[in-house]
Amino acid sequence: MTAAARPRFPVVLTVLAVLLLGVLLALGTWQVQRMQWKEGLMDGAEAAAGQPPLPLAEALKLENPEFRRVLLTCRGLSAAPYVELQSIEHSDAGVRLVSACAVEGGRTLLVDRGFVSAEISSRPPVKADDTMPVVITGVLRRAPAPSALTPPPAEGRFYGRDAEAMARVLKVEGPISPFTVFALTSTNPDWVALKPSAPPAAFTNNHLGYALTWFGLAAALIAFYVVLLRRRMTRKDTET
């Protein structure tokens, strides 16, 4: 075989394969990083849940106060106006009652007072002039933004936890905290239909599986490239 007849190296194919390989490896590495980040969140949530409750003001000074149990004092909370958030708890349809509470620093924080089954038509009393302090234990959580598919609120009932929109309906003036307190103790002990609770942390950690998928595709690409290159070079040798 002369030098002119030697098989030409597939430069374009190699460049494309290298670029695609880089993308697959980058995606796999990103999923590994996401897995480590998610594991950190889960560990942090578990550690926070096991610590004693802090006064709300102290908890909000923490670098990451989410999932911390807090003590909250709020005037008139047991008779405060509320919005209803459509919800399901233990396969039971109903609503969660969400009220506003003014906290130190001129900021307002939403309080999820608990779940009421759809079978219950009555509601706690609302008295604008009630200023009796109510002390509850709760859990701090960030309010997740509703998705684009979430129906808009209607007649005081919400279908997504839109803190800004809830604050407007509740006629809150000034800034609203990005955190919501989920009551663990009742704001209305004499009204047993109200079930205070914090929804479980919705953590899913499938990132290892995603990472293995991307790395597997990278390995398959390498194998495919090697086989294709060998066939190309062998075919050229045969033709020569």
The model's pLDDT over 168-186, given as tens digits with 9 standing for 90+, comes to 999 998 888 889 999 999 9
3-state secondary structure of 7: coil
The candidate with the shortest Cα–Cα distance to 95, out of 155, 45, 142, is 155
Average pLDDT over every residue of 78-83: 93
Mean residue pLDDT of the chain comes to 85
Mean pLDDT (whole number) for 164-171: 91
Beta bridge partners of 48: none
pTM of the model: 0.68
Q: Is 109 helix (H, G, I), strand (E, B) or coil?
A: strand
**What angle, rounded to 10 degrees, do the helices at 207-239 and 11-49 form?**
170
Residues 6+ apart with CB under 8 A from 8: 236
| Three-class DSSP category at 124 | coil
d(CA 234, CA 224): 15
State whether the Cα torsion 158-159-160-161 is positive or negative.
positive
| 201 — pLDDT class (breaks 50, 70, 90) | low
Residue 234 has pLDDT above 80, yes or no: no
Q: What are the helix (H) ranges across the chain?
A: 11-49, 56-59, 163-169, 207-239
Per-residue b/e over 81-103, b at no fewer than 16 CB within 10 Å?
bbbbbbbeeeeeebbbbbbbbeb
Tell me the sheet residues that pair with 190. Answer: none
Whether 202 shows a pLDDT value over 60: the answer reads no
Q: Is the pLDDT of residue 238 over 70?
A: no
Q: What is the mean pLDDT of residues 201-220?
A: 82
